């Protein structure tokens, strides 16, 4: 890894519903199989997101289980090589960055590792971290979850990107009932304005648009970002691969010589404003509602699955 790429399409949360490990409880198994019956492996992720003649970076976030580490195992990488991809692999044991090209480097797709932290106060993306950076104690995936400050203190030795996903979330009474009934760790789906203001100096950006956000929510986040002088980014945060390719933040230049350089490049470009937000095509309100409910129910399935067991 020793080169810079220009005009990189960055998706800060490319969910694609990469599957958790097989659920162990009947309820979580039922919910997962009902909502996402087909596990998404590395081949699906790469073949779905690879854009010819266009460089891109997709962050795959762990939360309940180590998804990124599982799909980028040696067997999966070898299979992609057999399909004609050349690989650029982080040589470290706990790799966080893997690149793929089919045209001798004219086009690159990189996937990078991150965490979506489900803290008591809400969710936060910790991006560009090695796969062993964060650990979870038994019971932390039950309500009330760990404090955000406590999880961030575990990461104090690392340089990483801090993005607030779906902030100022609007949750219906029924959705809140689901979160509480299954003891989801977070009090709210996204961080509230008071928490964002308290930690504003620590965040690199707010998510200003994703499929899991409502129009009213998007407007409120835009207003808050202006007041706090925080950049906005776009993320797909969806299982729809076509939509993931259409929602991104175009960043002028990124140094892919290491994960640390990627983080530094993105932070610098965000601060200097050398970005363009691309929201893709519009979708129906019913599709938005479906994706938001899918988020909540799959979070529930994951929460029931891990219960009080020790996590990764």
Indicate left, alpha or beta for 15 from its phi (over 0: left) and psi (-120 to 50: alpha). alpha
* 163 within 8 A of 204, measured Cβ to Cβ: yes
Closest CA to 211 of 250, 244, 178, 187: 244
Report residue 95 as tokens. 């790799």
Rg value, the chain, Cα? 18
The phi and psi torsions of 89 (rounded to 5 degrees) equal -110, 130
Report residue 62 as tokens. 């762990």
Q: What is the largest CA-CA distance in the chain?
A: 52
Measured CA to CA, the distance from residue 244 to residue 309 in angstroms comes to 32
Closest CA to 293 of 143, 183, 179, 145: 179
Report residue 99 as tokens. 């690149």
Q: What is the pLDDT of residues 250-285, one digit of tens each?
A: 999 999 999 999 999 999 999 999 999 988 756 566
Q: What is the pLDDT of residues 141-162, one digit of tens each?
A: 777 888 999 999 999 999 999 9
Residue 301, CA atoms < 13 Å, CB-side half-sphere: 25
Return the pLDDT at 59. Answer: 94
Report residue 113 as tokens. 């590792």
Closest CA to 59 of 130, 138, 115: 115
CA 87 from chain center: how many Å?
22
Q: Percent of the chain at pLDDT above 70? A: 77
Return the pLDDT at 306. Answer: 44
Measured CA to CA, the distance from residue 296 to residue 294 in angstroms comes to 5
Report, as ranges of residue numbers, the positions in the chain whose pLDDT lies below 50: 1, 22-23, 304-312
CA angle 195, 196, 199 (to 5 degrees): 85
């Amino acid at each position: 890894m020793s080169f810079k790429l220009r005009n990189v399409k960055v998706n800060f949360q490319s969910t694609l519903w990469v599957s958790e490990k097989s659920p162990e409880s009947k309820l979580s198994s039922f919910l997962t199989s009902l909502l996402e019956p087909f596990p998404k492996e590395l081949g699906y992720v790469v073949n779905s997101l690879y854009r010819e003649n266009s460089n891109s970076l997709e962050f795959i976030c762990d939360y309940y289980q180590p998804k990124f580490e599982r799909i980028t195992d040696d067997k999966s990488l070898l299979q992609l090589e057999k399909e004609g991809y050349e690989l650029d692999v982080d040589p470290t044991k706990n790799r966080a960055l893997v690149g793929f090209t089919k045209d001798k480097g004219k086009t690159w797709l990189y996937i990078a590792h991150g965490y979506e932290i489900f803290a008591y106060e809400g969710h936060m993306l910790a991006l560009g971290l090695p796969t062993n950076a964060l650990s979870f104690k038994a019971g932390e995936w039950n309500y009330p979850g760990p404090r955000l400050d406590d999880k961030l203190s575990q990461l104090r030795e690392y340089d990483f990107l801090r993005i607030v996903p779906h902030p100022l979330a609007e949750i219906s009474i029924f959705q809140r009932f689901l979160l509480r009934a299954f003891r989801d760790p977070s009090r709210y789906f996204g961080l509230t304005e008071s928490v964002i203001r308290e930690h504003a100096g620590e965040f690199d950006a707010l998510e200003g648009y994703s499929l899991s956000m409502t129009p009213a929510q998007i407007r409120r986040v835009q207003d808050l970002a202006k007041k706090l002088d925080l950049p906005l980014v776009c993320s797909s945060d969806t299982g729809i691969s076509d939509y993931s390719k259409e929602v991104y933040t175009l960043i002028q230049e990124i140094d892919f010589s290491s994960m640390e350089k990627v983080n530094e490049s993105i932070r610098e470009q965000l601060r200097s404003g050398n970005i363009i937000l691309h929201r893709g095509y519009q979708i129906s309100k019913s599709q938005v509602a479906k994706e938001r409910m899918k988020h909540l129910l799959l979070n529930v399935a994951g929460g029931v699955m891990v219960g009080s067991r020790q996590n990764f």
